[in-house]
């Protein structure tokens, strides 16, 4: 029988966080979720959806508890909860995202992604009941991977306030592993997508544009290249690493295929039978935009037998189904990034 764990997930309201909670609950683990905001609409929370067999919601009162706690303001409250739960595993998705906006309010990004995280980790390193701490970070710490697919030992070269703030936290955590044996495991995933993603991300935004006839902007003509991986494949790997990953290690989670943003958007418009030429407008590239993020995930595949199961075509179809099923509600919501300081 597979051992069951107590997991505490920071950033459980995020796109990736909510899908991870759903995966952990579906695997029989007990989960506590923490985010600074109250739970958003159910359509954005994977663990509030129906079970795969059509039964009740994945989360219930017996297997999941949620608390709204702001890491920037209520560290004592968060540590009090952690001491009460005493989870064996903590998985941290919490971060101030969005690259372009990090230039406008860089102090907010450094506060959330670095300073508050350091304060949290300085408390967590003293908790002997924590057996694993999974830090969900980003490939942006590497800068543009123009030389091709890179491995986990690639040098950091961040090019935006967002990326610098994440790289600083990664380096800080590595120093805590070296000095205190803090059981951190790092994950860096390629561009993640799937049902329930924030509407300002390129895939849901393109799907909504195609379905509603509302124009969308394509920064820099969409020439940058990315690898897109379905959220189901990412959270399977993340849960595997949370349970079996060796402290001090870093892991890439990616497909082996890349695509330019413009080709991706054209593919979406073809699926939706929409007019790309009239609905998509090219605009200037964003400041500090990296041309490529290409992660070599060979290590994860060889060590754990993991592989990406969902093809891009299948994943886009599934995400379109989610958009269509919730289109009246999605039309009423803002499609642009809403900054929270």
pLDDT of residue 242: 98
Q: Where are the beta strands (DSSP E) in 101-258?
A: 132-137, 184-189, 191-193, 216-219, 225-226, 228-230, 250-253
CB atoms within 10 A of CB 215: 10
Tell me: the pLDDT tens digits for 262-275?
999 999 999 999 99
Sign of the CA dihedral with 43 first, then 44, 46, and 48 last: negative
- What is the number of other CB atoms lying within 10 angstroms of the CB of residue 280? 22
pLDDT of residue 134: 98
pLDDT in tens, 77-112: 999 999 999 999 999 999 998 888 899 999 999 999
Half-sphere exposure of 205 toward its Cβ, with a 13 Å CA cutoff? 18
Residue for token pair 């124009």: 215
Residue 307's closest CA among 250, 242, 252, 246? 252
Structure confidence at residue 227 (pLDDT) = 96
**Which tokens hold the place of 146?**
């123009």
Residue 141 CB partners (closer than 8 Å, separation 6+): 156, 158, 163, 166, 167, 170, 188
pLDDT digits (tens, 9 = 90+) for 197-207: 999 999 999 99
Tens of pLDDT, residue by residue over 24-64, are: 999 999 999 999 999 988 999 999 997 765 566 799 999 99
Characterize 35-66 residue by residue with b for buried, 16 or more Cβ atoms within 10 angstroms of its Cβ, and e for exposed.
Answer: bbeebbeebbbbbbbeeeeeeeebbeeebbeb
Give residue-wise pLDDT tens across range 253-262.
999 999 999 9
Which tops the pLDDT comparison, 332 or 338?
A: 332
Q: Among 4, 3, 14, 9, which Cα is nearest to 340's?
A: 14
On whether the CB atoms of residues 34 and 8 are closer than 8 A, the answer is yes
- Residue 110 half-sphere exposure toward CB, CA atoms < 13 A: 9
Q: What is the mean pLDDT of the chain?
A: 93
Q: Please state, in angstroms and rounded to a whole number, the distance separating the CA atoms of residues 90 and 6.
A: 9
Global pTM reads: 0.95
């Amino acid at each position: 029988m597979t051992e069951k764990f107590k997991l505490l997930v920071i950033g459980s309201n995020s796109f990736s966080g909510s899908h991870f909670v759903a995966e952990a609950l579906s695997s029989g683990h007990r989960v506590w979720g923490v985010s600074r905001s109250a739970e958003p609409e159910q359509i954005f929370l994977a663990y509030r959806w129906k079970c795969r067999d059509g039964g009740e919601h994945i989360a219930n009162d017996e297997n999941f508890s949620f608390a709204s706690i702001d890491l920037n303001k209520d560290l004592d409250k968060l540590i009090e909860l952690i001491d009460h739960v005493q989870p064996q595993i903590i998985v941290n998705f919490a971060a101030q995202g969005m690259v372009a906006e990090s230039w406008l309010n860089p102090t907010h990004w450094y506060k959330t992604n670095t300073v508050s995280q350091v304060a949290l980790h300085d408390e967590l390193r003293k908790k002997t009941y924590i057996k694993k701490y999974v830090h969900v970070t980003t490939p942006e710490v590497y800068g543009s991977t123009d030389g091709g697919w890179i491995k986990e030992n690639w040098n950091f070269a961040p090019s935006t306030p967002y990326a610098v703030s994440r790289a600083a936290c990664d380096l800080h955590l590595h120093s805590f592993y070296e000095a205190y044996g803090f059981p951190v495991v790092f994950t860096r995933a390629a561009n993640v997508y799937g049902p329930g993603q924030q509407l300002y991300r390129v895939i849901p935004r393109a799907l909504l544009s195609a379905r509603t006839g509302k124009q969308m902007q394509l920064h820099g003509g969409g020439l940058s290249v990315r690898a897109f991986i379905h959220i189901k494949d990412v959270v399977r790997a993340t849960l595997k690493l949370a349970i079996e990953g060796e402290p001090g290690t870093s892991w890439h989670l990616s497909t082996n295929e890349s695509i330019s943003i413009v080709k991706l958007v054209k593919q979406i418009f073809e699926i939706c039978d929409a007019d790309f030429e009239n609905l998509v407008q090219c605009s200037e590239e964003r400041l500090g935009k990296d041309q490529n993020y290409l992660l070599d995930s060979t290590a994860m595949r060889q060590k754990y037998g993991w592989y990406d199961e969902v093809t891009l075509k299948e994943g886009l179809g599934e995400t379109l189904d989610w958009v269509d099923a919730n289109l009246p509600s999605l039309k009423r919501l803002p499609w642009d990034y809403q900054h929270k300081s």
